[in-house]
Amino acid sequence: MNSNTTPSAAPPVARLIEAFNRLPGVGPKSAQRLTYFMIRMPREEAEALAEALLSVKDRIVLCSICLNITESPECSVCTNARRDRTRICVVEEPLDVLAIERTRAYAGLYHVLHGSISPVNGIGADQLKIRELLDRLRDESVTELILATNPNLEGEATSMYLQRLISPLGIKITRLARGLSSGADLEYADEMTLANALEGRSEIVIDREASAG
Amino acid sequence: MRHLDLGEADRLLWLLTPQRGVLRATARGARKPGSKLGGHIDLLCYVKLSIREGRDLHGVSQADTVDAFRGMRTDIGRVSRGLYMAELAQQVSVEDAPAPAVFRLLVNGLGWMATTESPDALIRWYVLRLLTITGFMPEFGSCAECGNVLEPGDHVFSAERGGLVCPACRSQGSDVLHPASLGTIKVLRHLARSDYPAVAALSVGEEERRQIERILRAHASTVLDRGVRSSAFLDEIRDWPEAGPVPGGLHRGS
């Protein structure tokens, strides 16, 4: 956004609007709303926000092993001796690690690619942290690689790409199940989701002893 | 054709439509797992949409998949070619200008990409057909410089002059010239006048294939006046063998 869109704003205000406008998902109107909210904010809150922003820039680094965002050279997952070191779950973004951790269903390690292959946006495999993943896999203790990229065309392309690179090594490669989400209506499901759900259907096993008891 | 994440869980879409060419629209909540839109609006999907007109951006209110080209989506080689086809279609289309022929060509092309035995032949045919329906078909019958009908000879292709150039005219100008053997010219003429199913089984030698690709790429980038971003990924994947280790991959002992 340039200053022409906020002709009457004082220069510091226009600068802040422009700074907000550069954030992903923040349009000109939202940038203006955020700026005028900040103007009315008490000084100590504004200082706390500025301090938090600078601290993120000063103290945050990428984990030297999994490339997740961390405050120390190695993140808390990679240094945790109780994590299963034979499994690596590959995700696109650091936020995906948080989402999987919230499930408490996974105790292995992670690898963050920092994106997915997006040819139409000019993002190729060499712009992702794939070389670092291959270096980790040379360690023979890894027996399973879980591909947890997003279930869309670019995420799938990234998974297929990794699979071709890694499969000759003989490591078990799995991916997250595809199918219907909990609470969804079948009639609104798209054909790909339904087809994937049918392909990945599982047998209902009845525990006869438990039901008799 | 292309998408960007927007806000908390929305998606900004670049759509190719027959009636209005390229449209930009937002799909609210499309990134949430339970979204009614999310599964329908992935890249390279043929979808029926209800669009709510907006001042700056339109909004998608309903979506229903017509064809997701599943046979293409499970093969990285086909995906890379499909993305290349879509990017080319987007580049020749503009916002709010009808593009029924480009739309139909892309839908048919992606449908064939899901099933064809010869995806590279499809790409060659598609690029030439796209250039033809948008008015940029190269001249293969006569010299693009002097207009004389081409007799068998040592011809070259000039993207700047828009077609084949005869031996007498090749030294005029300082443009980049691409070799075009008799076999290459025959294949190009056949591609230009045939529908895809008729050229699917056409056998093309390695040298002719290379010449045709250089010619079509040079012509497309001259006409479009910019590069095609997805071509780098297409080239990388195309060099991979059908099966087994790939360049830069891991193998036992590496």
Buried b (16+ CB within 10 A) or exposed e, B87-124: bbbbbbbeeeeebeebbebbbebbbbbbebebbbbbbb
Q: Which two tokens stand for residue B22?
A: 């390229």
- Closest alpha carbon to B215 in B168, B187, B180, B189: B180
Q: Convert the pLDDT of each residue in A33-79 to its tens digit.
A: 999 999 999 999 999 999 999 998 899 999 999 999 999 999 999 99
- Closest alpha carbon to B75 in B113, B121, B122: B113
Q: What are phi and psi of B40, to 5 degrees?
A: -90, -20
Query: Does A130 lie in the same domain as A96?
Result: yes
| pLDDT value at residue A1 | 44
Q: Is residue A29 part of a domain?
A: yes
DSSP strands (E only) in chain B: 2-6, 10-17, 21-27, 46-52, 58-67, 156-158, 163-165, 177-179
Q: Is residue A198 part of a domain?
A: no
The one-letter amino acid code at A83 reads R
Touching A: B residues 30-59, CB under 8 Å: 33-34, 36, 39-40, 42-44
Q: Is residue A69 part of a domain?
A: no
* Sign of the four-CA dihedral A148, A154, A160, A163: negative
Q: Is residue A192 part of a domain?
A: no
Chain B nearest CA to A101, separation (Å):
17
B218 φ/ψ sector (left φ>0, alpha ψ -120 to 50, else beta): alpha
Q: Convert the pLDDT of each residue in B194-247 to its tens digit.
A: 988 888 888 888 889 999 999 999 999 888 877 889 989 998 888 787 766 777
Buried b (16+ CB within 10 A) or exposed e, B198-223: ebbeeebeeebeebbbbbbbbbbebb
CATH of the domain at A24: 1.10.8.420
Which candidate from B10, B79, B251 shows the least CB-CB separation from A168?
Answer: B251
Pick from A153-167, B160-174, B179-193: least confident: B160-174
- Which of A156 and A138 is assigned the larger pLDDT? A156
How many domains does one find in chain A?
Answer: 2
| Closest residue, chain B, to A137 (C-alpha) | B250
Would strands A84-91 and A144-147 be described as parallel, antiparallel, or unpaired? Answer: parallel
Query: Does A93 lie in the same domain as A21?
Result: no
Residue A5 has pLDDT above 70, yes or no: no
- How many Å apart are CA A139 and CA A145, to the nearest integer? 13
Express as a percent the part of chain A with pLDDT over 70.
93
Three-state DSSP state, B211: helix
Three-state DSSP state, B238: helix
Highest mean pLDDT among A80-94, A133-147, B217-231: A80-94
Interface touch B252/A190, C-beta < 8 Å: no
Give the residue ranges of DSSP H helices in chain A: 11-21, 28-40, 43-59, 94-103, 130-137, 153-166, 191-199, 208-212
Query: Does A163 lie in the same domain as A98?
Result: yes
- Categorize the per-residue pLDDT at A205 as very low, low, confident or very high, splitting at 50, 70 and 90: confident
Query: Does A101 lie in the same domain as A47?
Result: no
Touching A: B residues 123-182, CB under 8 Å: none
Query: Does A98 lie in the same domain as A171?
Result: yes
Name every chain A residue with its beta carbon within 8 A of the beta carbon of B79: 153, 156-157, 160
Query: Does A172 lie in the same domain as A109?
Result: yes
Q: Is residue A203 part of a domain?
A: no
| Closest residue, chain B, to A169 (C-alpha) | B251
Residues on chain A bordering chain B, Cβ-to-Cβ distance under 8 angstroms = 24-25, 117, 119-122, 124-125, 134, 137-138, 152-154, 156-157, 160-161, 164-166, 168-170, 181, 183-184, 188-193, 195
Q: Does the beta carbon of B7 lie under 8 angstroms from any beta carbon of chain A? A: yes
ipTM: 0.85
Express as a percent the part of chain B with pLDDT over 90.
39
CB B37 within 8 A of CB B29: yes
Query: Does A157 lie in the same domain as A91?
Result: yes
Residue B186 has pLDDT above 70, yes or no: yes
- How many Å apart are CA B37 and CA B29, to the nearest integer? 8
CATH of the domain at A155: 3.40.1360.10
Interface touch B86/A191, C-beta < 8 Å: no
For chain A, the straight-line distance linking the first and the last C-alpha, in angstroms and rounded, comes to 69
Q: Is residue A183 part of a domain?
A: no
Would strands B163-165 and A84-91 be described as parallel, antiparallel, or unpaired? Answer: unpaired
Q: Does the beta carbon of B233 lie under 8 angstroms from any beta carbon of chain A? A: yes
Length of chain B: 254
| pLDDT value at residue A2 | 46
- Closest alpha carbon to B213 in B101, B128, B107: B128
- Closest alpha carbon to B132 in B57, B59, B55, B191: B191
Across B107-111, average pLDDT: 96
Query: Does A92 lie in the same domain as A21?
Result: no
Question: What is the residue whose two structure tokens read 């990794």?
Answer: A162
Query: Does A51 lie in the same domain as A12?
Result: yes
Query: Does A115 lie in the same domain as A51?
Result: no
Name every chain A residue with its beta carbon within 8 A of the beta carbon of B106: none
| pLDDT value at residue A98 | 95
What structural domains and CATH numbers belong to chain B?
2-67 (2.40.50.140), 117-238 (1.20.1440.120)
Residue A211 has pLDDT above 70, yes or no: no
Query: Does A97 lie in the same domain as A13?
Result: no
Q: What is the CA radius of gyration of chain B?
A: 21
Q: Which two tokens stand for residue A184?
A: 């969804």
Q: Which two tokens stand for residue B204?
A: 């093309």
- Which of B131 and A188 is assigned the larger pLDDT? B131
Query: Does A154 lie in the same domain as A107?
Result: yes
Q: Which two tokens stand for residue B197?
A: 């199913």
Q: Is residue A213 part of a domain?
A: no
| Closest residue, chain A, to B2 (C-alpha) | A120
Domain with A171 in it = 82-176
Buried b (16+ CB within 10 A) or exposed e, A60-90: eebbebbbbbbeeeebebbeeeebeeebbbb
Interface touch A168/B42, C-beta < 8 Å: no
Q: What are phi and psi of B127, to 5 degrees?
A: -60, -45
| pLDDT value at residue A6 | 54
Across A1-16, average pLDDT: 71
| Closest residue, chain A, to B237 (C-alpha) | A161
Q: Does the beta carbon of B10 lie under 8 angstroms from any beta carbon of chain A? A: yes
Residue B65 has pLDDT above 60, yes or no: yes
Q: Is residue A67 part of a domain?
A: no
**Residue B43 DSSP label:** T
Q: What is the CA radius of gyration of chain A?
A: 23
In 10 A of CB B72, how many CB atoms?
Answer: 22
Q: Which residues contact B235 (CB under 8 A, 6 or more apart)?
A: none
Name every chain B residue with its beta carbon within 8 A of the beta carbon of A121: 2, 229
